[in-house]
Amino acid sequence: MASTKVETIMDVKNLDVTRSNSLVIKNASFKIDKGDYVGIVGPNGGGKTTLLLALLGILPKKAGSIKLFGNDIKSFSNWEKLAYVSQTALNFDVHFPLTVRELVGLGRVNRGIIGRKLRRSDWDAVDESLGFMGIKNIADKRIGELSGGQKQRVFVAKALVRNPELIFLDEPVTGVDAVTQEMFFKKLSDLKDKRGITILIVSHDLTAVFCRMSKVMCVNREVNVSEITEDFEPNDVLRDAYGEHFHFVFHRHTCEGVFNNG
């Protein structure tokens, strides 16, 4: 049987990134392949958000190289292939008079169509995105009326409406209950499995990372990426990022874990 060719869509080599004259990411080298579902973990202040912003071209790199879809980031222009849901996406004015459908429709606005009304094809894409995320039933609600879990799915729908091939999410489940978090991670699994979208998500939910994702990226100044396989041992990679005093107990059959300090 012929082997399936792996398509590398992100290739990072010897990357250094600084913020406020401090080296935050040091000599990072890794590859992300099409269809990967990558959990980005590490202690607060370890550089997770800084790394994402560098990969998106928002923060300049000090050294090294980043290739996106085979092109150096300096010359890369097809940014429509990427989508980003930031930590602050959910922090909006609750009195802003937009419906869910209108907010998701803003995802169809880009430099090519500024100044024109959305077409029927745009609204069809909006409705498809709402349907995929399971929020068509709240399409006419004002955004200020939504629960935390609904807001998460709305902003992912807004990112998806452009049909990206690679999506970055920075701690999108902060402050949301465990059941809603699990539903959200399942929706992301569907994006990977049904649409072939590559996902990089910053998360503190280590159990979700090891249950659902295909790779884990540990970030604490240095960056280490590991495949999550049947014989994968979480402690081996987590101690590099969190330190020897952390211990993670992972139960594969029930997808339950306890993260202990001590």
**Per-residue pLDDT tens for 19-72?**
988 999 999 999 999 999 999 999 889 999 999 999 999 999 999 999 999 999
pLDDT at position 260 is 39
**Per-residue pLDDT tens for 187-235?**
888 888 888 899 999 988 888 888 889 999 999 999 999 999 888 877 7
pLDDT at 96 over 80: no
pLDDT at position 116 is 63
φ and ψ of 102, to 5 deg: -70, -40
Nearest to 204 by CA among 235, 228, 238, 254: 238
Least confident of 6-15, 46-55, 92-101, 155-164: 92-101
Three-state SS string over 6-32 comes to CCEEEEEEEEEEEECCEEEEEEEEEEE
pLDDT at position 254 is 47
Mean pLDDT taken over the chain: 85
Collapse the DSSP code of 177 into the 3-class scheme (helix H, G, I; strand E, B; otherwise coil) and give the result: coil
Residue position matching structure tokens 């930590």:
87
Nearest to 30 by CA among 5, 9, 45: 9
Q: Which residues pair with 66 in a beta bridge?
A: 12
Could you tell me if 249 and 240 are in contact, meaning their C-beta atoms sit under 8 angstroms apart? no
Which band of pLDDT confidence, cut at 50, 70 and 90, is reported for residue 138?
very high
Q: What share of residues in the chain are helix, strand, coil (percent, to 5)?
A: 35, 30, 40
- Better-scored residue on pLDDT, 75 or 88: 75
Tell me the whole-structure pTM to 2 decimals.
0.85
Could you tell me if 122 and 108 are in contact, meaning their C-beta atoms sit under 8 angstroms apart? yes
Could you tell me if 42 and 218 are in contact, meaning their C-beta atoms sit under 8 angstroms apart? yes
- Better-scored residue on pLDDT, 222 or 171: 222
**For the chain, which domains are there?**
8-91+164-261 (3.40.50.300)
